[in-house]
Amino acid sequence: MARLLFTSIEFGSLADPVDLATEQRLSKLIGKPIKFMKQSHSDQITILATQKDADQLNTSPAADGLVSNQSNIALAVRVADCLPLLLHSTTVVAAIHVGRKGLLNKVALNAVTQMRLLGAEQITGIVGPHICGNCYEVDSQMFTEITKTHPATAGKNKHLNLFAGLAKQLAGIELTNLGICTKENTSYYSHRRDGNLGRQVGVICL
């Protein structure tokens, strides 16, 4: 069974580059070394399918998704308003960074494909604290761009509901939304609210 957690401001920022002491506290909390990513709103997924893969990954890969079937490591995704998506099956887990661009480039679908190639069945997911549909207002061009291909994201007056779009994109995979808005809840970092460069994380492991 997968283990997972989401941090808040109280734990401290895990923005890139990660403060070593904070990383060590997080690793101790989950009980395993943690693999991070250099996230850039890409569609890239890094696969850790063997012990050698995990051992050789000494630096954060340029990716927006990590997939692993290794039980001796944990995977982390950094966010401030984007969706921290943690996917799990009995034998494979994934940590994915899903923002507006990630929804468009199908990074979550890419991660699901890789999980299934590693033998994952009955995949389910949890989305942690992120900006909600009532708070995520964008300009007209951006609103039209995403709602044209992802109509489920359309909200009131140029607001986007990224969770609704992701749930539609991953149809067939049960997703749980913790329902915590980073802009509304000051216990979490929010770039939209205050421009803070801090990041909380979602972490998952087998």
Which pairs from 169-176 meet CB under 8 Å and 24+ separation? 169/103, 169/106, 169/108, 169/109, 170/108, 170/109, 170/112, 170/125, 173/87, 173/112, 173/123, 173/124, 173/125, 174/124, 174/125, 175/85, 175/124, 175/125, 175/126, 175/127, 176/124, 176/125, 176/126, 176/127
What pLDDT is attached to residue 43?
97
What pLDDT is attached to residue 58?
66
The 10s digit of each residue's pLDDT in 16-62 is 988 899 999 999 999 999 999 999 999 999 999 877 766 666 678 99
pLDDT at 65 exceeding the cut of 80: yes
- Band the pLDDT of 117: cuts 50, 70, 90: very high
For the whole model, what pTM was predicted? 0.95
What pLDDT is attached to residue 197?
83
What pLDDT is attached to residue 2?
87
